[in-house]
Chains A and B, each alone.
Chain A
Amino acid sequence: MDLVKISNQFKLMLCVGVLILTGQLVSSGASPIVALPGMLIIILLSMVALILKDLIPWRLPAFAWATFIAFVLTLPMLPTSDFLLGYINKVGFLATTTPILAFAGISVGNKIGVLKKISWKLVIIALVVFTSTFFGSAIIAQILLTVQGTI
Chain B
Amino acid sequence: MTEKETLSWKGRSGVFLPLLAVVIVLVIISELIGIIKISLGPGTVVLLPMLFAVIMGMLITPAILGKRISALKKLVNDDTMELAGVGVMIALIPLGVRYGTLVGPNIVKVLEAGPALILQELGNLLTPVIAIPLALLLGLKREAVGAAVSICREPTLGVIGEKYGMDSPEGNGVLGTYMVGTVFGTIFFGFLGSLAINTGLHPYALAMATGVGSGSMMAAGSAALAATVPAAIKDTVLAYAATSNMLTGITGIYSVIFIALPFTNWYYKKIAPKFEKKGTPVEVQGGE
Contacts and interface: CB of A to CB of B under 8 A. Distances in A.
Contacts of B238: 93
Contacts of B64: 109, 112
B150 interface: yes
Interface in B146-166: 147-148, 150-152, 154-155
Which of under 10, 10 to 19, 20 to 34, or 35 or more describes the interface residues of B? 35 or more
Contacts of A103: 23, 57, 84-85, 87-88, 91
B91 A138 contact: no
Contacts of A88: 97-98, 101
Interface residues of A, number: 102
A17 B20 CA distance: 12
Interface string A86-104: 0011010111111111111
A97 B31 CA distance: 11
A145 to B, nearest CB: 5
Contacts of A140: 116, 119-120, 122-123
A150 to B, nearest CB: 5
A103 B127 CA distance: 29
Contact of B92 (A63, A124, A127): A63
B123 A98 contact: no
B246 A68 contact: yes
A5 B209 contact: no
Of B90, B105, B125, most A-chain CB atoms within 10 Å: B90
Interface of A: 2, 4-5, 8-9, 11-13, 15-20, 22-24, 26-27, 42-43, 45-46, 49-50, 58-76, 81, 84-85, 88-89, 91, 93-115, 118-119, 121-142, 144-145, 148, 150-151
